[in-house]
Structure 1
Amino acid sequence: MAATTSFAHNDIHLIRAYSPDIIQRTWANNRVEWGPTLDEETYYAREKVLASQEFTRDNKLQVWILVPKTFDSANPQLDLILSAVETFERPGIVASKGEGLKDVLSISVASVFTPVPYRGRGYASLMMKLLWKEIGNMKDVSFSFLYSDVGPTFYGRLGWTPKRSEEIIIATTPTITGGNTPVEMVTDSNLSELIAADAEQVRIQLKAQIETARPRSLPSLLRSQPVSAGCMLALVKLDQQITELGARQGKSFVLWFHDLLKDQLFVIRWHLDPSEGDETARTLIKAAQEEANKWKLSKVVIWNAEQSLADLLKVETKYRDSAIPSLGLVNSTIETDNVEWVHNEKYSWC
């Protein structure tokens, strides 16, 4: 059947993909978007590595495909994959005045892709509507999130409401003045310990924040867990030359990712302990600048940084029109505008 064949929406449905052949076909389709500089073999190898990590295996990563109802998964006609999307099961925390801290599941959504011949027929919209229903039926899931590269409207009308999307951009030259005290580099040998300690501190901070909030002023806080040791170590495995994943000083630290294609070192997690001041902040930013320079990257990017950091570095806070954080509360009567997404920072594919 030709790829230009059109299907009525009531003749297609969303199903889980289990077959390696089907999953690999979704990679072949989306490589033009997320791996245009890689040959097929390298791209498949990368996806297989990322799909076999602690944060993705055991059904934490799920691939969904929109196909005609006549589609036979046992004997698939691969050119009839009309659209595809991936979901990831992540730990999350919801904090509220009445219930305190609650550990929940969250679902992050990624790799929404429709092959060019099937675009303009409403397939992606239908797929996301059906996916929202699937997420609503998942046990113990409290919220879902994604990062939109198609503006705030498309996903906003499908359940994922746009949230704060600011960034600061720091040039790598000249390096900032000050910040000359030594730092400890974060590598795969101490990453897990650092992330575990950070997760515990986040819980303490959330508990204190919700307990001191005035009634109705902060109905609910939530935090997804985009940063994980498994995620970061998987990225290291993809390029063994990258060994330094961040820097720490005292109780403060920064974790970063080398985005070579976009010429930037982007900060995945930034934590400045309240007991440590401007000099520590300068030290960590300088470490990031030096890492970016080592890899000949022109800038360091931080999402949703505190205004005090932008003021300290004398840089402008800008709004993004891509990678817009979008949040959906699952089976909830609370409006997303009444929820603060805590530590909504930038992270890579994982």
Structure 2
Amino acid sequence: MDYTLALPKAQSPNLYLTHPTSREFEAIYSLGFLEWGDALTLPQYLEESAFLTTVPLARDEGMSIWFLTDKTLPLDQRPILCSCETFRNRTFTTDREGHFSEVITHSVASVFCNPKYRRRGYATRLLAELAKILPSWQAEPGQCIGSILFSDIGPKFYAKRGWHPFPLNNQIELDAMHVPDLSLPGINFIVEENLDQLCKDDEAMIRRAMTVSSSSQMRMMIVPDLDHMLWHHRKEEFACDKLFGKQPRFKGAVTGEPNDRIWIVWTHRYYEHPHNNPRDNTLYILRIVIENQGADLEQREHQVEQMRAILRAAQDEAAEWDLRFVKLWDPGYLLQDMVERTGIPHRRVEREDESIASLMWFGEGSGKDDMVEWLGNEKYGWC
């Protein structure tokens, strides 16, 4: 049956959100291949999509796959009108009085409408149904405080549907280049065995900072835990294995002594095969941590040197793996100043059409940026 001949209206009571069978799963990801297949072939992308449901962050029902369809039709004969994924995130918040809570948010990712079914309101219906479900999805009452997404179609579409764009969508970009003197003392490369403790140290610092400092706004931060890092790393490892027959060993770089360290965790992303000389393949810095935020002037000069070494390590890693750029999301004023003082050529870019951080708030108030401060809006939180 050609379902396009009998398409229901987007407001039809016969439409609902559900989860796919294995055959419907393959159909959903086959449709999304042209948008998100990157450098992989279709069979490789389908294999990757199935694999990524089994890795940290996604497994144990951390990831849910949804699609809008007609509930009157039998399984495996239902049309895929629109689909998406959601991920459950551990999230820290503090209110205006400084009370700290650990709650959850749900990320919305990979919203996709079959091109044959577009401009009929199906994406709007899917998002409306999702907004009803997510506040209580896998959560006790009041435990889920919001939903985030990163829009690749500008800020307006999702804003009209309740996911309000945040102004923090800028990034620092550096060109990849080989750096000859990385054998200098002080730089240590991070391997997977190091990540668990670094993430725990990071989380402890975040808890202290959010508990001690005060703000006139409510604050929210997706926890940069090991599961988030490993989701990105399993994705990069799968792609690199298919493209190069090997996987990156280094997951980032660290310099300095305990309590005075700076470290970055990165991931390799291939939008096109490197043999095609693509422009967009990127080493993304998932998370950057500066331990000594209260350094004095003399210590700050030392931190600038540390930052220079860390960024040069990232540039070298990008060049080593045939990537074109290093990108760092949401640099605060301290980080921007430190990068400027390193003397490394770079660009500051505002993302206006893609990866626009957006928030739907389930608590009191509007959830817009005048009420909620979104901390750590870095690449690790993107899925």
Give the aligned partner of residue 301 of structure 1.
327
Give the aligned partner of residue 167 of structure 1.
171
Q: Is the counterpart of residue 184 in structure 1 residue 188 in structure 2?
A: yes
Distance 2:232 2:315 in 1: 20
Distance 1:176 1:308 in 2: 25
Over 3 Å counting, the alpha-carbon distance change for 1:153 and 1:236 in structure 2 is closer
1:214-233 matches, within 5 Å, as 218-225=216-223, 228-233=228-233
**Aligned partner (choices 66, 69, 78) of residue 68 of structure 2:** 66
Q: Compute the displacement of 1:160 (Å).
A: 0.9
Deviation digits for residues 225-261 of structure 1 (CA, Å, limit 9, x no counterpart): 3553432442354134211110011221001111122
Q: 5+ residue gaps in structure 1?
A: none
Count of matched residue pairs: 341
> Which deviates further from its counterpart, 149-158 or 223-232?
223-232
Q: Root-mean-square deviation (CA), in Å?
A: 2.3
Q: Compute the displacement of 1:60 (Å).
A: 1.2
Q: 5+ residue gaps in structure 2?
A: 272-279, 296-301
Q: Is the counterpart of residue 336 in structure 1 residue 377 in structure 2?
A: no
**Aligned partner (choices 342, 353, 358) of residue 326 of structure 1:** 358
Q: Compute the displacement of 1:175 (Å).
A: 5.5
Distance 1:60 1:178 in 2: 38
Distance 1:283 1:244 in 2: 15
Distance 2:347 2:356 in 1: 18
Query: Partner of 1:255: helix, strand, or coil?
Result: strand
Distance 1:130 1:242 in 2: 40
Give the aligned partner of residue 149 of structure 1.
152
Identity of aligned residues (%): 26
Query: Partner of 1:196: helix, strand, or coil?
Result: helix
Q: Compute the displacement of 1:45 (Å).
A: 1.5
Deviation digits for residues 296-337 of structure 1 (CA, Å, limit 9, x no counterpart): 222211111133134224534221121111111114325422
**Aligned partner (choices 199, 203, 210) of residue 199 of structure 1:** 203
Query: Partner of 2:379: helix, strand, or coil?
Result: coil
Deviation digits for residues 264-301 of structure 1 (CA, Å, limit 9, x no counterpart): 11111011222461011111101101101111222211
Deviation digits for residues 38-91 of structure 1 (CA, Å, limit 9, x no counterpart): 23321122112210123111211111111123133xx3215x110001101110
Alignment check: 8 A CA contact 1:255 1:267 kept: yes
Query: Partner of 1:332: helix, strand, or coil?
Result: coil
Give the aligned partner of residue 77 of structure 1.
77
**Aligned partner (choices 32, 35, 52) of residue 34 of structure 2:** 32
Distance 1:39 1:173 in 2: 28
Q: Compute the displacement of 1:208 (Å).
A: 2.3
Q: Compute the displacement of 1:20 (Å).
A: 1.8
Distance 2:48 2:381 in 1: 14
Q: Compute the displacement of 1:150 (Å).
A: 0.5
Give the aligned partner of residue 266 of structure 1.
284
Q: Compute the displacement of 1:37 (Å).
A: 3.9
Runs of 4+ in 1 over 6 A off after TM superposition: 176-179
1:105-120 matches, within 5 Å, as 105-120=104-119
Amino acid at match of 2:84: V
Distance 1:253 1:137 in 2: 36
Alignment check: 8 A CA contact 1:178 1:282 kept: no
Q: Compute the displacement of 1:125 (Å).
A: 1.2
Give the aligned partner of residue 122 of structure 1.
121
